[in-house]
A and B are shown apart, each in its own frame.
Chain A
Amino acid sequence: MKIIHRISLRATAKQRRELEFLGIQVPEGVSLLDDGDKFISFEVNEGHANWSILQELFRKWDAIDVVSTQFSKKEIAAARWLNLTPDWHCGYPQPDELAFGYREATYDTSEYCPVCGVGLKQKAPFQMRGEPKWGRRSILQLNWVYDEYFVTPEAWKSVFYSFDVGCQPVTDPMGNVLRTVVQLDIKETAGVVTDELAIEHCSTCNRVKYLPVVRGPFPSLTKDPSAAMARTKEYFGSGASAYNGILLNQSLAMAMADAGIKGASVRPVALL
């Protein structure tokens, strides 16, 4: 397991020299069409020989730091349960994306809080602008909707159907059912051990959600789900974004890999 930091900043000549001295290959960077320094982004993992010095510098410079964790194939294969994470996002839920029209069209919003994003319950099929441009991929997420996955009907039939994961139709904004995409119907819920998770408390609805867990494995489950796929009872996210984590068992993850399903990745769920 490697903890990776994606660092971005507008680096001065002095900062570039310091980074290079500490063993970072500093990219040329891009101009943001103003008088400021070029914008650079690079990755460094916590195993770097100078990590402790670099970490201090990144804090001092107020650099953008996006953390992720890389797992070995062995670590993934050893997990009983995995968290499904998107490799891409394809389009925005419809209708009227400039006013988040999908919320009222797709969800029962009676328990929804617009400040923290918690409480949406699906009541109708998702709408997409049209057939997704899949390329070589066969699983996707929509922007903003981080707790639903959509797959090609072929992927559903060849992989998910045999694990008793159902599907729901997806329509265009006119109500026509799309032919090349279905939504995975993930019904079961599972609790997560939350003792050590960082929280965001909503002062409007008084509910709690957990900041996304980016270091190490996904938090352990209080009890293994009985279905092959499940969603967490808890919400994760920050600001107005809130979503349930999506879980799948090792057998389904292996079947997805064997079928060459592209568009999402897995990371281990910690064992209790």
Chain B
Amino acid sequence: MGQNVRQMASVAVNPAEHQAFTNAWRAAIPYGAGTQNATKETVMRAARTIYAGHPALLEALGL
């Protein structure tokens, strides 16, 4: 985290997947204070859970 987005590995997702992932992130870590207070550990755990069925995404994230 804190990496330059242009230098990060990327995986193409379709619009439906993008929306589903966004909804899950919003539900797990609410906007506002939830975002401000999120720890690295929480973000990593959320990524492992949300992308559990998408190994390419987990691999790109190094998880």
Q: A85-B36, A89-B32, A212-B37 are in contact. Are A9 and B27 (CB under 8 A)?
A: no
Does A28 lie at the interface of the complex (its beta carbon under 8 Å from any beta carbon of B)? no
Give min CB distance, A31 to chain B, whole Å.
7
A89 touches which of B31, B40, B52, B53 (Cβ 8 Å): B31
- Docked complex Cα distance between A135 and B30 (Å): 19
Are the CB atoms of A33 and B20 closer together than 8 Å? yes
Give min CB distance, B31 to chain A, whole Å.
6
Are the CB atoms of A98 and B53 closer together than 8 Å? no
Does A20 lie at the interface of the complex (its beta carbon under 8 Å from any beta carbon of B)? no
A240 touches which of B1, B20, B29 (Cβ 8 Å): B1
Are the CB atoms of A239 and B43 closer together than 8 Å? yes
Residue of A nearest to B29 (CB): A66
Give min CB distance, B47 to chain A, whole Å.
10
Are the CB atoms of A66 and B49 closer together than 8 Å? no
Residues on the A chain within 8 Å of B39, using CB: 211-212, 238-239
Chain B interface size range:
35 or more
Residues on the A chain within 8 Å of B45, using CB: 62, 64
Chain A interface size range:
35 or more
Are the CB atoms of B2 and A240 closer together than 8 Å? yes
- Docked complex Cα distance between A120 and B62 (Å): 28
Are the CB atoms of A66 and B24 closer together than 8 Å? no
**Interface-lining segment among A34-42, A125-133, A167-175, A221-229:** A34-42
Does B50 lie at the interface of the complex (its beta carbon under 8 Å from any beta carbon of A)? yes
Residues on the A chain within 8 Å of B49, using CB: 8-10, 39, 62, 64
Are the CB atoms of A87 and B36 closer together than 8 Å? no
Residue from B30, B35, B36, B50 with most neighbouring chain A CB atoms (10 Å): B36
- Docked complex Cα distance between A31 and B20 (Å): 7
Residue of A nearest to B53 (CB): A34
Are the CB atoms of A32 and B20 closer together than 8 Å? yes
- Interface, chain B (partner A; CB < 8 A): 1-2, 4-6, 16-17, 20-21, 23-24, 27-43, 45-46, 49-50, 52-54
Q: Could you list 14 examples of A-B contacts with CB < 8 Å?
A: A10-B49, A30-B23, A30-B27, A39-B50, A65-B42, A85-B36, A98-B5, A99-B5, A114-B2, A212-B36, A214-B37, A238-B41, A239-B39, A243-B36
For the complex of A and B, 6 pairs with smallest distance between CB atoms: A240-B2, A34-B53, A239-B40, A212-B37, A238-B39, A41-B27
